[in-house]
Amino acid sequence: MDTLQPVMADQFVESLRTALDRALGWLTYPRKPEEYFAALAPRHFGPLRAEIIALEPHFDGCATLVLRTDKRFVAHKPGQFVALTLEIDGVRRTRCFSISSAPRSARGPRVIELTIKSTARGTVTPRLVHPSIVGTTVELSPPRGSFVLDDELPPRLLFITGGSGITPVISMLRALDQKAIREGAPGAKGTLLHFAKSEREALFLDELKQMPWLDLHLVTEEALGRMPSLDEASLAAVVSDFEDTRAYACGPAPLLKAVEAAFAARGAPGALTIERFQSAFDSGGEGEGKGTVHFARSNKTVNDHRTLLVVAEEQGLEPKSGCRMGICGTCHCKKLSGATRDLRTGEVSTEANVDIALCSTVAIGDVSIDL
């Protein structure tokens, strides 16, 4: 009896909170309660904002944006990203970008840099690399992501990057370079294997050449006369015992697949950490063909087994999204009831009133979502 009483009290508090949440939700529909708090006290509850104060072009369709963030922005760990939201033609769009500056930027406190390569037929990136973007205020998430250096630096670091995939890595390299200048050594021996179309399109090349502690290998399509490729042997030609290094890779999907295969072939997949810019779930994911999805606030019910984000978008609901691969948290939403599968982990959730990432979750039975 003694042990049951606290459980019953917890359950009572939980159901009271759920009932209050629902009542507030109905009162504030179509907005969420937290959006009202943000409107009442924007300085405390409102989104973090940043002003784009400069744009520095690298080559056609690629530029570094310099942003002055607001006072609440906490310093990032090198390698982390932010979800950036801006309004385009009256619609709020959110996309993720790695922070390319080091946490201690020479430009001053709370100034960060994002290096952006515009995507052909993309909605947001062509707008961001256009000079007219300077002076625009955007919203930012706090820095996020686990593609970061270990707290205790290992003796050797290997970075493998392709194209704009160098952006999170340049933040790490800049931080290591600052350490090398301060302490005489970066604390680890570094090797960078970078793939680019040409020398001209190899981002930050001049700066990388100025890092004396970094063993730099640049492979360009222009110099090879064909698309570069990577396998176990070509990686071993750069670092013979690469499986014994702590490695970070970011770039196009085929490059990442090849890097993973090389580490797996040496029996050392754990030595490698990967950052992906593109989602494997973008096509909608693979549902299991069971159940209906009920969007409670908008009262729509559909029989569609793709990711809940894709299903909601198809219904015209416009939920917020960023990375579309379950890492930025932008699309989190409450599942009111039903069974879902998380495509990242394969885990099944049957609990009611829990937060789920719409972009990487599919229904595997009748499901009700607070949207």
Ligand X SMILES: Cc1cc2nc3c(=O)[nH]c(=O)nc-3n(C[C@H](O)[C@H](O)[C@H](O)COP(=O)(O)OP(=O)(O)OC[C@H]3O[C@@H](n4cnc5c(N)ncnc54)[C@H](O)[C@@H]3O)c2cc1C
| Binding flags for ligand X, 302-331, as an x/- string (CB under 6 A) | ---------------------x--------
Q: Is 91 in the site for ligand X (CB under 6 A)?
A: no
Residue with smallest beta-carbon separation from ligand X: 122
- State how far the Cα of 144 lies from the Cα of 332, in Å rounded to an integer: 14
Residues of span 226-245 touching ligand X by CB under 6 A: none
CA angle at residue 142 from 139 to 146, to 5 degrees? Answer: 135
Contact of residue 321 among ligand X, ligand FES, none (CB under 5-8 Å per partner type): ligand FES
Q: Are strands 293-295 and 367-369 parallel, antiparallel or unpaired?
A: parallel
Q: Which is nearer to ligand X, 32 or 95 (CB)?
A: 95
Answer yes or no: are the C-beta atoms of 213 and 183 closer than 8 Å.
no
- State how far the Cα of 156 lies from the Cα of 317, in Å rounded to an integer: 48
Answer yes or no: are the C-beta atoms of 250 and 274 closer than 8 Å.
yes
| Binding flags for ligand X, 175-214, as an x/- string (CB under 6 A) | ----------------------------------------
Which of 73, 204, 242, 277 is close enough to bind ligand X by CB under 6 A? 277
Which of 52, 65, 86, 96 is close enough to bind ligand X by CB under 6 A? 96
Q: Are strands 340-342 and 348-349 parallel, antiparallel or unpaired?
A: antiparallel
Contact of residue 326 among ligand X, ligand FES, none (CB under 5-8 Å per partner type): ligand FES
Q: How many CB atoms lie within 10 A of CB 85?
A: 20
Q: Which is nearer to ligand FES, 110 or 332 (CB)?
A: 332
Residues of span 100-159 touching ligand X by CB under 6 A: 115-117, 119-125
CB of 363 to ligand FES, least distance (A): 16
Answer yes or no: are the C-beta atoms of 47 and 98 closer than 8 Å.
no
Q: What is the DSSP track for 276-339?
A: -SS-TTTT-----S---EEETTTTEEE---S-HHHHHHHTT-----SSSSSSS-TTEEEEEES-
Contact of residue 357 among ligand FES, ligand X, none (CB under 5-8 Å per partner type): ligand FES
Binding site for ligand FES (CB under 6 A): 321-324, 326-331, 357, 359
Instruction: Label residue 327 exposed, middle or buried (CB < 10 Å: 0-12, 13-18, 19+).
Output: buried
Binding site for ligand X (CB under 6 A): 81, 95-98, 115-117, 119-125, 164, 167, 277, 323
